[in-house]
């Protein structure tokens, strides 16, 4: 059983930056694509970014392209989400998730393709 633990959330002013981390235990992450999702109050959970096992392939939602960067350190069993130029509309609970296997371009934005989830970390961006 894998356990994913997110950290790094907090309160930041618009234009600021945060770096989220997702640490895994119980299973090596290197054999799985990973994703970040977020859920704002009153809204459905949405895909933010995804990364392949090696880190060579990435996906970003249009709303975060050019501002967010997903990366991973397989030696540390950790996935990161660097968030720059944060805006109030980025306010949400951010979740990391483990995919069912290798990066699949048509599925990485689909939360149904992920089978393990962290508990989430709150990101609040003030205007």
Pairing verdict, β 3-7 and 18-25: antiparallel
Residue with the bigger pLDDT between 101 and 12: it is: 12
CA distances from 69 to 39, 54, 80, 81 (A): 18, 15, 8, 6
Q: Give pLDDT, residue 1.
A: 82
Output the pLDDT for position 26. Answer: 86
CB contact burial 46-65 (16+ within 10 A = b; e otherwise):
ebbbbbbbebeebbbbeebe
Contacts of 9 (CB under 8 A, 6+ apart): 18, 20, 94, 121, 122, 123
What pLDDT does 98 receive?
A: 97
Mean pLDDT of the chain: 96
Write the pLDDT tens digit of every residue in 106-116. 899 999 999 99
Quote the pLDDT of residue 95: 98
Higher pLDDT, 5 or 28: 5
Report pLDDT for 51: 98
- Confidence (pLDDT) at 19: 98
Which is more confidently placed, 82 or 30? 82
Q: What's the average model confidence in pLDDT over 65-91?
A: 97
Q: What percent of the chain lies above the pLDDT cut of 70?
A: 100
Task: Give 44-105 as a DSSP string.
Answer: --EEEEEE-SSS--EEE-TTTTTTEEEEEETTTTEEEEEE-S--GGG-EEEEEEEESSS--T
What's the whole-number mean pLDDT along residues 54-81?
A: 97
């Amino acid at each position: 059983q894998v356990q994913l633990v997110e950290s790094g959330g907090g309160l930041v002013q618009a234009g600021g930056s945060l770096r989220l981390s997702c640490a895994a235990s119980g299973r090596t992450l290197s054999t799985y694509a990973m994703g970040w999702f977020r859920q704002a109050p009153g809204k459905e959970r949405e895909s933010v970014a995804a990364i392949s096992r090696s880190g060579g392939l990435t996906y970003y939602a249009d709303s975060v392209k050019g501002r967010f960067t997903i990366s991973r350190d397989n030696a540390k069993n950790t996935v990161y989400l660097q968030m720059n130029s944060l805006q109030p509309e980025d306010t949400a609970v951010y979740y990391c998730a483990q995919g069912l296997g290798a990066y699949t371009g048509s599925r990485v934005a689909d939360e149904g393709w992920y089978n393990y989830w962290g508990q989430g970390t709150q990101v609040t961006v003030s205007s």
